[in-house]
């Protein structure tokens, strides 16, 4: 799976993840020393959700198709099958 260094203001597409298939999950990691923020917006729903990620933490998610945008002041490392 591609690993992307997602800079502030940039976004990448999210692939649909069905039935918790580990090969379709996306991981967002904050390797910086400051808090990070990202927004997920979904293609089939009029919904955008902003998340906060602590320094040195990561989260793995399974979501519908959409976009993930870096909305914080730090670079995020994203591993996703969506590219």
- d(CA 69, CA 1) in angstroms, rounded, equals 18
Express each pLDDT in 14-68 by its tens digit.
888 877 677 788 999 999 999 999 999 998 888 899 999 999 999 998 888 899 9
Three-state DSSP state, 37: strand
pLDDT of residue 17: 80
Predicted TM-score (pTM) of the model is 0.87
pLDDT of residue 11: 95
Identify the structural domains of the chain with CATH numbers, from first to last.
3-79 (2.60.120)
Express each pLDDT in 56-70 by its tens digit.
999 998 888 899 999
């Amino acid at each position: 799976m591609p690993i992307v260094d997602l800079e502030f203001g940039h976004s990448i597409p999210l692939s649909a993840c069905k039935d918790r298939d580990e090969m379709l999950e996306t991981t967002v990691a904050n390797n910086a020393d400051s808090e990070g923020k990202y927004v997920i917006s979904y293609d089939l729903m009029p919904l955008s959700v902003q998340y906060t990620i602590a320094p040195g933490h990561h989260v793995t998610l399974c979501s519908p198709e959409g976009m993930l945008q870096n909305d914080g002041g730090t670079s995020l490392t994203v591993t996703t099958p969506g590219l």
